[in-house]
Homo-oligomer: A and B are copies of this chain.
Amino acid sequence: MSTSATTPRTTREAKVDARRDELAESALVTLGERGYARTSLREIAQNSPYSHGVVHYYFDNKVELITYCVRYYKAQCATRYDELVATSTTADELLGRFADKLVETLTDEPQMHRLWYDLRTQAMFEESLREAVLEIDHSLELMIWRVVSRFAELAGARPALDRGTAYALLDGVFEKALLEHLTGTGAALESLRERALTLMPSLISS
């Protein structure tokens, strides 16, 4: 009874969620290429197996789609450094692997990162984006804080700064590296690595 009633409903809902995720992935590709403002729903659909009308079948409007994308994107990246935090056994190892990972994600996913900075900036203008953006920004801050506090722990020290400041500093360094990387400065990758290596120790004390 309950199975025959709930199972088809849940599978249908699961199918809908799968389509939404599929569209979100197509949307993220397009958004990463063109940016938030220049991306149209038709362009998103063109990068998907479907036509432009399908977007309004799965999402009420554009903002809802973008919001869904932001949250979908968060699931991919807000745990990026967790494995490294969990398995590093010395402060030096954590530091080196963190710096390497920073460079790796800058190399592999520059479009996703510029999209993130784009969305965060648009949230300063468009209130409809704020809730989702602030939510993911907060989760990124927590992610960075897990790295910093574990680094301090392994070094037998304690963080010298609060959580927000630590995030602001590392985010500033990463954003600058991204800008340099995308606008041609060849040394952006190595520069990011070195800056991370010198900055992290100054975030902890005694």
Could you tell me the distance between the alpha carbons of A137 and B124 in the complex, rounded to whole angstroms? Answer: 20
Could you tell me the distance between the alpha carbons of A198 and B159 in the complex, rounded to whole angstroms? Answer: 14
Partner of A202, one of B118, B164, B177, B202: B202
User: Does A122 sit at the interface, judged by CB under 8 A?
Assistant: yes
User: Does A199 sit at the interface, judged by CB under 8 A?
Assistant: yes
Using A134-B183, A164-B191 as known contacts, say yes or no to A178 and B124 having CB atoms under 8 A apart: yes
Partner of A167, one of B37, B167, B176, B177: B176
Contacts of A38 in B (CB 8 A): 37, 125
User: Does A121 sit at the interface, judged by CB under 8 A?
Assistant: yes
User: Does A16 sit at the interface, judged by CB under 8 A?
Assistant: no
User: Does A114 sit at the interface, judged by CB under 8 A?
Assistant: yes
Closest to A119 in B: B121
Could you tell me the distance between the alpha carbons of A121 and B124 in the complex, rounded to whole angstroms? Answer: 13
User: Does A15 sit at the interface, judged by CB under 8 A?
Assistant: no
Partner of A199, one of B165, B171, B175, B182: B165
**Is B198 a contact of A161 with CB atoms below 8 Å?**
yes
**Is B137 a contact of A179 with CB atoms below 8 Å?**
yes
User: Does A170 sit at the interface, judged by CB under 8 A?
Assistant: yes
Inter-chain pairs besides A114-B124, A123-B179, A167-B176, 14 sampled, C-beta below 8 Å: A35-B125, A35-B126, A37-B38, A114-B121, A117-B121, A118-B124, A137-B179, A161-B198, A164-B176, A165-B173, A168-B176, A170-B172, A171-B175, A172-B173
User: Does A18 sit at the interface, judged by CB under 8 A?
Assistant: no
Contacts of A122 in B (CB 8 A): 35, 37, 118
List residues of A (155-206) whose CB comes within 8 Å of B's CBs: 161, 164-165, 167-173, 175-179, 182-183, 191, 195, 198-199, 202
Could you tell me the distance between the alpha carbons of A3 and B121 in the complex, rounded to whole angstroms? Answer: 51
Contacts of A123 in B (CB 8 A): 179, 183
Could you tell me the distance between the alpha carbons of A199 and B161 in the complex, rounded to whole angstroms? Answer: 9
